[in-house]
Amino acid sequence: MVSSDTARNVVGVLGNIISLFLFLSPVPTFIQIWKKKAVEQYSPIPYLATLVNCMVWILYGLPLVHPNSLLVVTINGSGTAIEFVYIILFVIYSDKKKRIKVLLIVLLEIIFIAVLAICVLTLAHTTKKRSMIVGFICVCFNVMMYASPLAVMKTVITTKSVEYMPFFLSFASFANGIAWSTYAIIRFDPFILIPNGVGTLFALAQLILYAVFYKSTKRQIAAREEKGEVGLSEVVVNGDLKRASTAALNGTASEIHRA
């Protein structure tokens, strides 16, 4: 019979693999940014939110804070490195104003994590207290990260199109939530279970929207191609890839996050 620790490790490794795919899902977006040498309509908010979320979870998984959580550290360490790469590319291809804003936010996030780590490790003297403090913060950040697609879901409902809500990303989010919720249940950990349970529900809602509006999206794309129109991600203003006005795009949302 498989022990609970073995089952937990297997699920945790599976969760690491799924999470890695989730972290890598924006790669096509950044390839597009790199080719066009401009960030266009893309927002740095999802990547900044994911960065601070990963750093907090690394702190949570440390042996001095929450023992026996190596798999939490490995995936969030990988996620931190990947998000830094995304942010560096975003900074390179942004205008000066946006570049400074992003760098300041990253600096504030690093300072926040450093201060949190110092306070927790020096003022809380047991792993139980440290886990509770950092775990509560992790829940807050993780729920906010999982809630970030709500803006995209609103756009889907408004436009009746899932063109800017990739199926793979929604499916990977759902699978990721299931894996880590299972991991948390095997050896009960409410700080991992709560945010991933919420994330599973958000991802399921996205998949339902995808099923509901898939056909209408195909019709909209076909109609646009017949008229020779282009989607938001293809808009080029005066040949220099400046931020496009969406007033001429027949009701397309003013800002769409593709993260």
pLDDT for the residue numbered 17? 93
Interval 70-79: pLDDT, tens:
999 999 999 9
Q: Kindly list the distances between the CA atom of residue 127 and the CA atoms of 59, 64, 96, 132, 160, in Å, as whole numbers in the listed order.
A: 12, 6, 43, 8, 48
Which pair of tokens denotes residue 205?
């809602």
pLDDT for residue 165 is more than 80 = no
Q: How confident is the model at residue 242 (pLDDT cuts 50, 70, 90)?
A: very low
Q: Side chain identity at 133, as an amino acid letter?
A: I
| Interatomic CA distance for residues 107 and 113, integer angstroms | 10
What mean pLDDT, rounded, does the chain reach? 82
| Interatomic CA distance for residues 106 and 169, integer angstroms | 24
- DSSP classification of residue 244: P
pLDDT for the residue numbered 238? 36
Which pair of tokens denotes residue 173?
């989010």
Q: Side chain identity at 211, as an amino acid letter?
A: A
Interval 169-207: pLDDT, tens:
788 889 989 999 999 999 889 999 998 898 899 889 989
Interval 128-140: pLDDT, tens:
999 999 999 999 8
Q: How confident is the model at residue 141 (pLDDT cuts 50, 70, 90)?
A: confident
pLDDT for residue 246 is more than 50 = no
Lowest mean pLDDT of 37-46, 175-184, 229-238, name the range: 229-238
| Interatomic CA distance for residues 16 and 65, integer angstroms | 20
Residues in the chain: 259
Q: Other C-beta atoms within 10 Å of 105: how many?
A: 17
pLDDT for the residue numbered 132? 94
| Interatomic CA distance for residues 172 and 178, integer angstroms | 10
pLDDT for the residue numbered 229? 57
Phi, psi torsion values for 3, nearest 5 degrees: -75, 160
pTM metric for this prediction: 0.75
Q: Which residues contact 122 (CB under 8 A, 6 or more apart)?
A: none
Lowest mean pLDDT of 77-86, 109-118, 211-220, name the range: 211-220
SS (H, E, C) 149-207: CHHHHHHHHHHCCCCCCCHHHHHHHHHHHHHHHHHHHHCCCHHHHHHHHHHHHHHHHHH
User: Which of 165, 173, 137, 127 lies closest to 15, judged by CA?
Assistant: 173
pLDDT for the residue numbered 227? 77
